[in-house]
A and B are shown apart, each in its own frame.
Chain A
Amino acid sequence: MTFTVPYRGRRGYDYGMPISLGVLARLACVCLALAPVACARAPHFTGTTLTPKAAYDFTLTDANGRPFRLAGERGREVVLFFGYTRCPDVCPATMAQLARVERELPAADRARVQVVFVTVDPQRDTPAVIKRYVALFDPSFVGLTGTEAQLDPVFDAYHVWHQRIPGTKASGYLMAHSGSVYLIDPAGDLRVLHDWTDPAPAIASDVKELLG
């Protein structure tokens, strides 16, 4: 069980909202009376709490052209985001937010968290392009690309919606895509989902919670 209460956000969907210590204390009293053992270890997330299940494992190509396997991060928490480097608005806003999340963590925790960016535009986002892009935000970030055959099962497994839309002669095509941030715990389970517009402190709070 979790201490996440439904909250209708500004875009009209439900996600977890932090609740006050007072409310938490009262809930804790109820919990302690009813189920003391379960309650003692209940995590509290500000994002959407998912039923824990193993995050789909994949191997893609990192910004240095080397293979990167998700399962290789076991023991560390992974913060996963899908976007593309020619995205001027949503993606850099999200990446800058995630850089802020990193900065909010104590140094010891920072080494146990890996932010991973996966492109939804493999045709234009080569490892070299991605390398310069992720370095804009935080040198520790991993940026991944792959062939369509490698990426499609990943998009399917994480329910990543993506679609080419017409742009201008100057911009070329644009990519519409889902704007979720996925938190995968050190055991490799997908646990929490955030909206790219969620405040960095809220995401950081969940990242810390998952580190235990």
Chain B
Amino acid sequence: MIAPLLLAAVTVTGAWSRPAIDTGVVYAQIHNNSGHRVALVGASTARARHAELHESTSSMGTMQGMTMPMESMHPVSHIVIPPHGTLALSPGGYHLMLLGLRGPLVAGQHVVVTFHFSDGEVVHTAASVENRGM
């Protein structure tokens, strides 16, 4: 029997999204409350045809004396969260990319997202759609 106050192995807090037409994003803090490594292996939502884990990376380049940030992005298959660690999905870093939205995301709405983890755990969270910068 599981004690009612026992913390789930993984919890998700602060999930949010942005207004979008075809391509959306979800950010969140994902906490590994267990003493072993857990990997985020995927996500899904009824609001989009596909949800993929991506990472934005940045490097600095100098173009004729102008120093500028060069932003790139690539899909990732999984993201490991160390024991008692927190994974931040945040602007400019790891994020959940929503592809083929089934309708626009509008500020004030919520997007229900299901995160899938390597230990078989599944966590549902509601991301609020917000007009936020960073």
Contact = CB atoms under 8 A, between A and B. Distances in A.
B42 to A, nearest CB: 12
Q: Which of A88, A136, A161, A174 has the most CB of B within 10 A?
A: A88
A159 B68 contact: yes
Interface in A90-147: 90, 92-93, 96-97, 99-100, 129, 132-133, 136-137
A178 B99 contact: no
Contact of A97 (B69, B73, B97, B134): B134
A89 B72 contact: no
A89 B56 contact: yes
Contacts of B95: 88-89
A85 B75 CA distance: 18
B22 A136 contact: no
Contacts, number: 124
Interface stretch (A7-15, A18-26, A29-37, A66-74): A7-15
Contacts of A15: 67
A86 B19 contact: no
A189 interface: no
B108 interface: no
A132 B21 CA distance: 7
Interface residues of B, number: 39
A50 interface: yes
Interface string B89-119: 0011001011110000000000000000000
Nearest to A103: B131
Q: Which of B52, B63, B71, B91 has the most CB of A within 10 A?
A: B71
Contacts of A13: 60, 67
Given A86-B22, A170-B52, A196 B71 contact: yes
Contact of B73 (A100, A132, A165): A165
Contacts of B92: 89-90, 93, 197
B47 to A, nearest CB: 14
A193 B91 CA distance: 20
B100 to A, nearest CB: 7
A11 B68 contact: no
B101 to A, nearest CB: 11
A209 to B, nearest CB: 19
B58 interface: yes
Contact of A178 (B20, B24, B69): B69
Contact of B74 (A12, A165, A179, A197): A165
B15 interface: no
Contacts of A163: 72
A111 B40 CA distance: 46
A89 B54 contact: yes
Contacts of A89: 25, 54, 56, 73, 91-92, 95, 97
Nearest to B130: A96
A131 to B, nearest CB: 10
Contacts of A193: 66-68
Contacts of B61: 161, 178
6 contacts: A88-B25, A90-B73, A93-B18, A178-B61, A193-B66, A195-B68
> Top 6 nearest A-B pairs by Cβ distance?
A159-B63, A176-B72, A170-B50, A97-B133, A88-B25, A180-B68
